[in-house]
Amino acid sequence: MEGSRPKKEDVEKLRELIADISIAMLTTPESDGTLRSRPLQTLEVDEAGTLWFFISTAAPNISEAAEGGWQVNLSYANPGKQDYVSVSGPARLVRDKLNL
């Protein structure tokens, strides 16, 4: 979250809920306003609550996210535990290998 930091307990709850879910559905808006979702594997949830993924810079998600002002949604589901998580917020492209 830009401008505000999630509470430590909220980050820990997010980590707990998605710990057994390896794939998130990333939803981005297309230029015509329709929404498109694609699967991504979550690599990490850092101390600040930032979710990290690897993605090709040539992937359609990148241009769609940029066209949508970098506002995205991530959805996680673990039906066996009845755990469902939806996270919305700004995304950004980081090309610095050392920033991970």
Q: Which CATH class is domain 8-90?
A: mainly beta
Residues whose CB is less than 8 angstroms from the CB of residue 87 and which lie 6 or more positions away in sequence, other chains included:
14, 51, 73, 74, 75, 76
CA 50/CA 6 separation, integer angstroms? 10
Q: Mention every residue, 6+ apart, whose C-beta is less than 8 A from residue 9.
A: none
pTM of the model: 0.79
Q: Which residue(s) pair with 45 in the sheet? A: 51
19-48 per-position pLDDT tens digit: 999 999 999 888 788 899 999 999 999 999
Domain boundaries, the chain: 8-90
For the chain, the average pLDDT equals 85
For residue range 43-89, list pLDDT tens digits in order: 999 999 999 988 887 777 777 676 657 789 999 999 999 999 999 99
